[in-house]
Chains A and B, each alone.
Chain A
């Protein structure tokens, strides 16, 4: 048996199909995964993401510490509540994890890290703080639960649970900002390509909040729909699309690496600079749309005639497009078409610009 979130018993009572995810017992779906997906695109759905780990960093040196710890630049965080997506790299440029950093106050930054990497991340952060001599408190908030409420009607549903004053403040949040509402933290972030909030709450309140959101018309959704939504939205999954052996420049994450200012010396910088000076990464991450019938899956071989080979890193059936889509790591010279080896047959796929879908609309032509 894996670890359980505060909502575990409620998921089981609601008839969720539970699976192991990064050592956690999580709901993969409550019925039809495709219907859950459409609920989020068209209305509102919620996901228990309490397996992800909230880490609070406290102390006057926190900004300076993060400036060296992560590849994006926390110098961009100037307004309280602003969020920043970043990779945390090792010395060779490999991705230890991808995470979101919220700037709350100059002595309090909040980080949300992945479930499967949380223990490793915490150990790494603590070792770096010690080695570099930073006086930063690194606090794992196991007392918190997190619910992602996503979809065009998601923000209104969450606001209806807040006090009128907090509800008004929450609805005024710009994308990628968060605010504290009493013991809650409400952020306009997500992993679906839809508008919505991610809500961090005391674990003891998790069940009542989930039930209140249900009563407000928000559909329970599992990790299955979460995966198809994030793939359509062009968002990477740690462990599939990047890991400690893959750097951001070959993972579609170059946009998250801040090489400016040049004097900021973050972990992995030297390795990434060397790749850039040698002419750039030989591989790149692209979106694929399968032209033939079938389903793209991670680890399928990609053949690029006359160029070389690559591999599908994440693949699925897109409920919105009703076609199979994927991310694949392919040689840099890959053009507009590739072939994918599906059970010994080479099927045609088109290279497309990500994302596939945003705010309920297909962004690519079929």
Chain B
């Protein structure tokens, strides 16, 4: 059973978003996503300064098996990327909700996460997908 953290918000396309104390939002892919992809070997994250729209393809995560797009769960401007992933993409497999974060954004509006799923709604999405 995939791990779903109670304090995060989720997109149906298997990204998570976390509100940081300073108002920025941290983004990554969920445990379900990393498990489905298998061993990650390459991550292409957006450059700092990139403007992201909700649902826009903004990053690519590649496992041995396949490449998969990451869709931004939040609109805003990329202010920081996880530099460790370039040398250690496996951090996403090992700790997808922690050390495997992808990027941080300054949200375009204060209500940035309201449209996303909470943990129970996302768990229901996973149950409906059979996993």
Interface residues of A (CB under 8 A from B): 17, 28-29, 32-34, 224, 228, 293-295, 297, 316-317, 319, 324, 343
Contact = CB atoms under 8 A, between A and B. Distances in A.
Contacts of A34: 39, 64
B52 interface: no
Given A295-B62, A297-B67, A224 B38 contact: yes
B60 interface: yes
6 contacts: A28-B38, A33-B38, A34-B39, A295-B62, A295-B67, A297-B66
B92 interface: no
A319 B42 contact: no
Interface of B: 38-39, 41-42, 44, 60, 62, 64-67, 86, 93
A49 B19 CA distance: 48
Contacts of A28: 38, 65
Given A34-B64, A228-B64, A316-B64, A295 B41 contact: yes
Contacts of A317: 41-42, 62, 64
A42 to B, nearest CB: 17
Nearest to B62: A295
Given A34-B64, A224-B65, A317-B64, A29 B41 contact: no
A295 B38 CA distance: 15
A32 B44 CA distance: 21
A33 B64 contact: yes
Contacts of B42: 293-295, 317, 324
Contacts of B39: 32-34
A319 B67 contact: no
Nearest to B60: A343
A29 B35 CA distance: 11
A220 to B, nearest CB: 15
Contacts of A228: 64
Nearest to A223: B65
A210 B41 CA distance: 30
Contacts of B93: 32
A343 B41 CA distance: 17
Nearest to B39: A34
Contacts of A343: 60
A317 B66 CA distance: 10
Contacts of A297: 66-67
A29 B66 CA distance: 14
B51 to A, nearest CB: 19
B86 to A, nearest CB: 8
Contacts of B62: 294-295, 317
A33 B65 contact: yes
B64 A224 contact: yes
Given A32-B39, A34-B39, A293-B42, A319 B64 contact: yes
Given A32-B38, A32-B39, 18 more contacts: A29-B38, A32-B93, A33-B39, A33-B64, A33-B65, A34-B64, A224-B64, A293-B42, A293-B86, A294-B44, A294-B62, A295-B41, A295-B62, A297-B66, A317-B41, A317-B42, A317-B62, A319-B64
A31 to B, nearest CB: 9
Contacts of B65: 28, 33, 224
Contacts of A29: 38
A357 to B, nearest CB: 15
Contacts of B64: 33-34, 224, 228, 316-317, 319
A190 B89 CA distance: 31
A293 B65 CA distance: 16
Contacts of A224: 38, 64-65
Nearest to A297: B67
Contacts of A294: 42, 44, 62
Nearest to A319: B64
A34 B65 CA distance: 11
Contacts of B44: 294
A297 B64 CA distance: 10
